[in-house]
Chain A
Amino acid sequence: MAQYLRKTNKLKEFFQLLFGHPMGAIGVAIITLFLAMALFAPFLGTVDPSASGDVDNLLMPPSSQFWFGTDDLARDIWSQTIYGSRISLTIGFVAALITVFSGTLVGLIAGYYGKILGEVLMRIVDFFMMLPELPLMIVLAAVLGPNMWNIILVVSLVSWPTTARVVRSQVLSLKERPFVESSRCIGASNFQLMFAEILPNVVPLMFAQAVIMITEAIYAEAVLSFLGLGDPTSISWGMMLHSVFESGVIAESYWWVVPPIASIVTLIVSFSLLGTAVSDILEPGYKEKKGF
């Protein structure tokens, strides 16, 4: 992406376009908010989120002292929500990076080299796609142990085939386009055709995929943690939901349920908005339509 933008040498213009796109502006604003939350968690969180509080403060509804109330161990829910964003964002970004990178590489090679190599790669992709996602994630998480990096590994393992498929189908169409044949006519090598001619055409798609993958990873982390397969020593939104479910007071303590769910939903929606905006902007010709 960086190379793509440097090529146009218009990073400033890109951001102008992004903020001019209503969805993009809203998405970026919310994501920035969450990023700031994750970054400045120690300053925003009023107390240590994992420290149990006074016995008198168990399951307190929101008050001036505990903005979002407390849980059954008298821990501050506001602080937990703040610190939880760290886990979700890290898992989202890292998993999306791994997934999109490997998926694009496999899709590109499989699409470009149709015949045997492509078929073999796609059968491997099919294999990974056929695996039942949730049970696999649960089993792997259980086997590998509850740890953030294992969750990233699990999420990447089940998500890359989607990207590979989408990229491959695009490459199949792109490689038959006249500009690829023209480049071949003037002596471009396979490597150059794949990475210099076809890949830049797939970049908008990669962005769309990256955004989907980020949201999927955040979602997967929440699911695994909720099911009790998350890292019990770290605090995430999924773990919060797990705790509230385990505690048996889910029906009474709305203040404990709403913050993690609202956070997950808001973050996922804002990434989707950003994804739509970015793929719009990277489409050639969008700039002109907006009068740049």
Chain B
Amino acid sequence: MALIEVENLKIYFMTRRGPAKAVDDIGFCIEENKTLGLIGESGCGKTTTAMSLMKFIKPPGKIVGGSIRYMGNDIVPMTDEQIRRLRGKEISIVRQEAQNALNPVLTIGKQITEMILEHETVTRETALARAKNQLNLVGISDQRINSFPHEFSGGMKQRAMAAIATACNPKFLILDEPTTGLDVVVQRQILMMLRNLKNELNLTAVFISHDLSVVAETCDRVAVMYAGKIMEESDTVSLYQNPLHPYSKALIGAYPSLKGERKQLKSIPGAPPSLIDPPPGCRFTPRCELAESICSREEPGLDPIDGRRVACHMVK
């Protein structure tokens, strides 16, 4: 059964020049214990989509349509108090820039126990024992429970964030660029830690990144986003081996590969379109090599092909 089902989700940012369609009519499912990757350029709506899964959209952003079902329950009409009880307990998040996401004047232990005490009625001792267990789980010695964030390295802070996020055994974890700002060696350690955590706690996850190699390593399925739309959704292996959508091809072509022949990296000409006044038809048309007249007239649907979904007139 799908743990998360998103249908026709529309999130607009109400600007003075009109609504910016940051996320425009997208839909996807995440099966239990699977990880969905969300990739795309900056500003394509990845983070907005991910944050909407815990209904965390700050004004002027607004969910204007669609539904987000967590275990069958739509969270869009929920009240603030209802959604607050879900956050952290059922749906949790590890955000980027852990250095700023930890409270500088509270010890790590305090921050984990507080999180547990907020959501569950357990004694302080139990919470403390669980906090120690959490630290061990993410690969930090429980002797560091009374350390302050500034006494941790960047990688350790990110580990601590993961420990806090999963302290209440959530079912669903949002990973918003959890490795951004870390060097590759630490990135790898963090990815291993997250994978370990995911297996240990039976987590379902959505993984946001613009680093294609990180996504390839961690995700079961991948959705490629462009200008607020999903362009292609596929299992990871097929997407990387045989991208169907011209944008996916371009994105993967713009990324260096360690193996295989040494090719000149191709950049995608042009810039992403305005989200307030997007081009008619397919939003990628102005930058697409394969574009024909139909592309700027009709918007392509996200049609299924061999267990994948692609939104392109030229792929049929």
Question: Are A192 and B114 also in contact (CB < 8 A) when A182-B95, A185-B95, A285-B150 are?
Answer: yes
Tell whether, in the assembled complex, residue A186 and residue B115 are in contact, meaning their CB atoms are under 8 Å apart.
yes
Does B104 make an interface contact (CB < 8 A)?
Answer: yes
Tell whether, in the assembled complex, residue B105 and residue A203 are in contact, meaning their CB atoms are under 8 Å apart.
yes
Among A159-186, those with CB < 8 Å from B are 177-179, 181-186
* Chain A nearest Cβ from B143, distance in angstroms: 14
Binds A, one of B83-91, B199-207, B284-292: B83-91
Tell whether, in the assembled complex, residue B102 and residue A179 are in contact, meaning their CB atoms are under 8 Å apart.
yes
Does A196 make an interface contact (CB < 8 A)?
Answer: yes
With CB as the reference atom, state the residue of chain A lying closest to B83: A187
Interface range on chain B: under 10, 10 to 19, 20 to 34, or 35 or more? 20 to 34
With CB as the reference atom, state the residue of chain B lying closest to A191: B118
A186: chain B residues within 8 A (beta carbon): 87-88, 92-93, 115, 164-165
Q: With A and B bound together, what is the CA distance between A8 and B56 in angstroms?
A: 33
Does B213 make an interface contact (CB < 8 A)?
Answer: no
Tell whether, in the assembled complex, residue B103 and residue A183 are in contact, meaning their CB atoms are under 8 Å apart.
yes
Contact of B84 among A7, A179, A187, A196 (CB under 8 A): A187
Does A253 make an interface contact (CB < 8 A)?
Answer: no
Q: With A and B bound together, what is the CA distance between A184 and B92 in angstroms?
A: 11
With CB as the reference atom, state the residue of chain B lying closest to A197: B103
Tell whether, in the assembled complex, residue B104 and residue A201 are in contact, meaning their CB atoms are under 8 Å apart.
yes
Does A9 make an interface contact (CB < 8 A)?
Answer: yes
Q: With A and B bound together, what is the CA distance between A157 and B97 in angstroms?
A: 43
A179: chain B residues within 8 A (beta carbon): 100-104
With CB as the reference atom, state the residue of chain B lying closest to A178: B100
| Residue from A7, A8, A186, A203 having most chain B Cβ neighbours under 10 A | A186
Does B14 make an interface contact (CB < 8 A)?
Answer: no
Does A284 make an interface contact (CB < 8 A)?
Answer: yes
Interface range on chain A: under 10, 10 to 19, 20 to 34, or 35 or more? 20 to 34
* Chain B nearest Cβ from A288, distance in angstroms: 8
Does A41 make an interface contact (CB < 8 A)?
Answer: no
Does B138 make an interface contact (CB < 8 A)?
Answer: no
Contact of A187 among B97, B103, B118 (CB under 8 A): B118
Question: Are A187 and B95 also in contact (CB < 8 A) when A7-B107, A182-B101, A201-B104 are?
Answer: no
Question: Are A178 and B95 also in contact (CB < 8 A) when A192-B114, A203-B105 are?
Answer: yes
Does B106 make an interface contact (CB < 8 A)?
Answer: yes
Does A65 make an interface contact (CB < 8 A)?
Answer: no
Q: With A and B bound together, what is the CA distance between A187 and B87 in angstroms?
A: 4
Does B54 make an interface contact (CB < 8 A)?
Answer: yes
Report A243-260 CB contacts with B as 1/0, cut-off 8 Å: 000000000000000000
Does A73 make an interface contact (CB < 8 A)?
Answer: no
Tell whether, in the assembled complex, residue B101 and residue A9 are in contact, meaning their CB atoms are under 8 Å apart.
no
Q: With A and B bound together, what is the CA distance between A288 and B151 in angstroms?
A: 9
Does A233 make an interface contact (CB < 8 A)?
Answer: no
B86: chain A residues within 8 A (beta carbon): 187
Does B210 make an interface contact (CB < 8 A)?
Answer: no
Does A145 make an interface contact (CB < 8 A)?
Answer: no
Does B240 make an interface contact (CB < 8 A)?
Answer: no
Tell whether, in the assembled complex, residue A200 and residue B106 are in contact, meaning their CB atoms are under 8 Å apart.
yes
Q: With A and B bound together, what is the CA distance between A177 and B103 in angstroms?
A: 9
Q: With A and B bound together, what is the CA distance between A119 and B109 in angstroms?
A: 36
* Chain A nearest Cβ from B119, distance in angstroms: 6
Report B95-134 CB contacts with A as 1/0, cut-off 8 Å: 1010011111111001000110011000000000000000
Among B199-240, those with CB < 8 Å from A are none
A8: chain B residues within 8 A (beta carbon): 107, 146
Question: Are A200 and B103 also in contact (CB < 8 A) when A185-B93, A284-B150 are?
Answer: yes
With CB as the reference atom, state the residue of chain B lying closest to A203: B105
Does A64 make an interface contact (CB < 8 A)?
Answer: no
B85: chain A residues within 8 A (beta carbon): 187
Tell whether, in the assembled complex, residue B105 and residue A284 are in contact, meaning their CB atoms are under 8 Å apart.
yes
* Chain A nearest Cβ from B96, distance in angstroms: 9
Q: With A and B bound together, what is the CA distance between A183 and B84 in angstroms?
A: 11
* Chain B nearest Cβ from A191, distance in angstroms: 10
A182: chain B residues within 8 A (beta carbon): 93, 95, 101-102, 161
Q: With A and B bound together, what is the CA distance between A182 and B118 in angstroms?
A: 14
B103: chain A residues within 8 A (beta carbon): 179, 183, 197, 200-201
* Chain A nearest Cβ from B183, distance in angstroms: 21
Report A1-17 CB contacts with B as 1/0, cut-off 8 Å: 00000011100000000
* Chain A nearest Cβ from B294, distance in angstroms: 42
* Chain B nearest Cβ from A267, distance in angstroms: 30
Per CB-CB distance, the 10 closest pairs between chain A and chain B, nearest first, are A187-B88, A186-B88, A187-B87, A178-B100, A182-B101, A200-B105, A179-B103, A178-B101, A185-B93, A284-B104
22 A-B pairs within 8 Å (CB atoms) are namely: A7-B106, A8-B107, A178-B100, A178-B101, A179-B101, A179-B103, A181-B101, A182-B101, A182-B102, A185-B54, A185-B88, A186-B87, A187-B86, A187-B88, A187-B89, A187-B115, A188-B88, A188-B114, A189-B118, A197-B106, A200-B103, A284-B105
Query: B interface vs A, CB < 8 Å?
Result: 54, 56, 84-89, 92-93, 95, 97, 100-107, 110, 114-115, 118-119, 146, 148, 150-151, 161, 164-165
Known: A196-B114, A288-B150. 12 other contacts (CB 8 A): A7-B107, A8-B107, A179-B102, A179-B103, A182-B161, A185-B87, A185-B93, A186-B165, A187-B88, A188-B118, A200-B103, A288-B151
